[in-house]
Amino acid sequence: MWKQLGKPYLTPVTVRAKAASGDVLRLEGEFIANVSIANRTKRATIRVSKMELALLGADMVNLFALGTIPMDNFCNNIKEADPRSWEEKFPSVFHGTGICTKASVHLQLRKDTRPVFRPKRPVAYAMEEIVNKELDRLEGLGIISPVDYSDWAAPVVVVRKANGQIRLCGDYSTGLNAALHPHEYPLPLPQDIFSKVARCKIFT
């Protein structure tokens, strides 16, 4: 849109813009122009971004009184479905632990890497029985298996969940993470994703 208007001179932005999702929008600059909507013309500040989808900001909506509800009003009407209804509708999905068959994980060690063996961290006496039961549960599900010897070892961090149960987390920052080649992939920003689905009508 800015290019179609002849690329007016941009001045530094004076505000910080956010999308409806709360993500900060990257603005290239702003310029002042006469804007006509519904036979009404007003002097307004236009802010330019690299998003393909052109949207009216909240300031423009308020300037032309386009909304029947003030932009600073929020209306949340969220209905949460009962998780048990989904379990009854799709029992096969929630049965057992589940196994990922669509992809396999490959860990690539750096050259000249030496194994790092870290001793276990002390566990509070009151937590020993709970931790042992969790280890037995994970072994029974086939998630972990005992070994007699290993060149690599990382300590376990015990995290208490809101329901009173625990989660065992391996602290691989103690040596394994530094020995692996990272899988680097640029994660897209939300505003970039939203701009690609502009003018779409059907979502699956």
pLDDT at position 71: 56
Task: Tell me what the pLDDT averaged over the chain comes to.
Answer: 84
pLDDT tens digits for range 16-72: 887 777 778 888 888 888 888 888 888 888 888 877 666 677 777 788 777 665 655
Of 55, 73, 91, the last residue of a domain is 73
Statement: the pTM of the whole predicted model exceeds 0.75: no
Q: How many domains does the chain have?
A: 2
Residue 201 covered by a domain: no
CA separation for the pair 174, 157 (Å, rounded) = 12
In a domain, 9, yes or no: yes
- 1 and 69 co-located in one domain: yes
Residues 65 and 4 in one domain: yes
**Residue 168 structural domain:** 125-179
In a domain, residue 33? The reply is: yes
Q: Does residue 167 lie within any of the structural domains? A: yes
95 part of a folded domain: no
Q: What is the largest CA-CA distance in the chain?
A: 81
Query: Is there a domain that residue 117 lies in?
Result: no
pLDDT tens column, 80-98:
777 788 888 888 888 878 7
CA 92 to chain centroid: 27
Tell me, rounded to whole angstroms, the distance of Cα 202 from its chain centroid. Answer: 23
Q: What local confidence, expressed as pLDDT, does residue 17 receive?
A: 80
**Cβ neighbours for 157, distance < 8 A, ≥ 6 positions apart:** 121, 168, 169, 170, 171
Average pLDDT for residues 13-18, to the nearest whole number?
82
Residues 6+ apart with CB under 8 A from 52: 195, 196, 198
119 or 184, greater pLDDT: 119
In a domain, 24, yes or no: yes
Domain presence at residue 17: yes
- Which helix (H) or strand (E) covers residue 169, if one does? strand 166-170
